[in-house]
Amino acid sequence: MATETLTLGKALNTGLRKALENDPKVVIMGEDVGKLGGVFRITDGLQKDFGDQRVIDTPLAESGIIGTAVGLSIRGFRPVCEIQFDGFVYPAYDQIVSQVAKMHYRSQGKVRIPMVIRIPYGGGIGAVEHHSESPEAYFAHTAGLKVVTCANPQDAYVMVQQAIASDDPVVFLEPKRRYWEKGPVDLDAPLSAAYPLHASRVVRAGTDATVLAYGPMVRTCLDAATAAAEDGRELEVIDLRSLSPLDLGPAYESVRRTGRCVVVHEAPGNLGLGSEIAARVTEECFYSLESPVLRVTGYDTPYPAARVEEEYLPDLDRVLDAVDRTFGW
């Protein structure tokens, strides 16, 4: 077994490299993904090794990137599109929801769109406007799209390859503030390993309350669980990993044991993923709940200026406060 310690960003780079090696139909497209290697260097070195016909620097036109990828998908390729920042995806939104998501259904199954749309998302890096957004609910609401997000280097490495191998269009959300966090990566992990692409995972076992999170908030919730343990309270943390479809089986099992549930995400609370998750947990676990399902989210405002973003983002204290409130009912 070849296990290395990699940053999440390097794990993505390694996963993309392996996908390019294994399938000549895989192509990477996006602004500055070639010679520069992407603004976060996720595609660093790939154009040098695979050529500019497979790692393609595109014009600054997100709708053009996605539209071209649709055509490539129909012709048998597996394009991987990089959207440079989350807030830049909206010019391509029409293509994604009107073409990418619906082509398979509209053609009665005759046409597949095996493409991946990589989007660095979330805040916490001190960026300027339009660089720290969390647009996941837009895509998870759209029938025909699969939406996933990684939270650690091992998942980044495996999940990006699984997404590329999928015959369905996948929106692959990358927590940009976690790009530099390191962890062990099994480079020989099979893509059909214990956890398929659309499966959630218990990342910390506990008995007193269940905390559900995804992407950048998984690390925050793990830190909160460590802090809670010092006070004798054991939190079970579940990384949802897949936002559409949701795999809430492990969450239901956990909540039936703990009787309490807190859902955490960066995006604004109004009509966010937390609303759907809380509703489903309440429906399935009503007679096991000792208190209402609570949400810890970003505020219902546009993402603020970098100097005050720490006031906006859910943090350890806000998570622990919600857990405390579940015990106060």
Q: In the predicted model, is pLDDT for residue 213 greater than 90? A: yes
Q: Considering its fold, how many domains does the chain have in total?
A: 2
Q: Which of 146, 162, 186 is the last residue of a domain?
A: 186
Q: What is the DSSP string of 202-243?
A: EEE--SSEEEEE-TTHHHHHHHHHHHHHTTT--EEEEE--EE
The rounded distance, in Å, linking the Cα atoms of 171 and 194 is 22
Residue 249 lies in a domain: yes
CA–CA dist 83, 118 (Å, integer): 6
Residues 99, 223 within the same domain = no
Residues 210, 176 within the same domain: no
Cβ burial of 159 (10 Å; 0-12, 13-18, 19+) is buried
211 with 309, same domain: the answer is yes
Do the domain assignments include residue 193?
Answer: no
Domain assignment of residue 191, yes or no: no
Does residue 194 surpass a pLDDT of 90? no
- How much is the average pLDDT of 34-52? 97
Q: Are residues 153 and 215 in the same domain?
A: no
Supply the pTM of this predicted model. Answer: 0.96
> Do residue 134 and residue 78 come from a single domain?
yes
Q: Does residue 207 sit in the same domain as residue 181? A: no
Domain limits for position 291 = 201-326
Q: What is the CATH number of the domain that holds 96?
A: 3.40.50.970
Residue 207: its pLDDT value, please?
Answer: 97
Written as one string, the DSSP assignment of 121-148 is E---S---TTSS---HHHHHTSTT-EEE
Both 11 and 143 in a single domain?
yes
Predicted pLDDT of residue 17 = 98
Residues 155 and 259 reside in one and the same domain: no
- C-alpha dist (Å) from residue 303 to 174, 195, 273, 308, 315: 18, 33, 17, 10, 16
Residue 1: pLDDT over 70: no
pLDDT digits (tens, 9 = 90+) for 64-75: 999 999 999 999
Average pLDDT estimate for 247-272: 98
Residues 280 and 213 in one domain: yes
**How far apart, in whole angstroms, are the C-alpha atoms of residue 38 and residue 30?**
8
From the candidates 104, 131, 198, 265, which is the catalytic residue? 131
Q: Are residues 76 and 180 part of one domain?
A: yes
- Answer whether residue 190 shows pLDDT above 90: no
Residues 294 and 148 in one domain: no
| Residue 142, in any domain of the structure | yes
For helices 8-22 and 153-165, angle between their N-to-C axes, nearest 10 degrees: 30
Average pLDDT over residues 22-34: 98
Look up tokens 């806000």; give the residue: 318
Residues 169-189 have a mean pLDDT of: 96
CATH number for position 272: 3.40.50.920
For residues 157, 158, 162 and 164, what is the CA-based torsion angle, rounded to 10 degrees?
10
Q: What is the pLDDT of residue 193?
A: 67
Evaluate if residue 192 carries a pLDDT over 80: no
Contacts for 126 with CB less than 8 Å, ≥ 6 apart: 306, 309
Give yes or no: 141 in active site. Answer: no
Say yes or no to pLDDT of 107 above 70: yes
- The domain boundary, picked from 186, 217, 239, lies at 186
The tokens describing 285, both together, are 């676990």
Position 63 pLDDT exceeds 80: yes
- pLDDT confidence of residue 162: 97
Q: Residue range 56-69: average pLDDT?
A: 97
| Mean pLDDT for the chain overall | 96
Question: Stretch 74-100: mean pLDDT, rounded?
Answer: 97
Q: Which residue, of 158, 186, 214, is where some domain finishes?
A: 186
Residue 216: inside a domain, yes or no?
Answer: yes
Residue 115 counted as domain residue: yes
Q: Looking at 269-273, 275-279, 325-329, which range is the least confident one?
A: 325-329
Same domain? For 60 and 155 the reply is: yes
**pLDDT score of 191:** 85
Interatomic CA distance for residues 298 and 267, integer angstroms: 5
The proportion of the chain whose per-residue pLDDT surpasses 90, expressed as a percent, equals 97
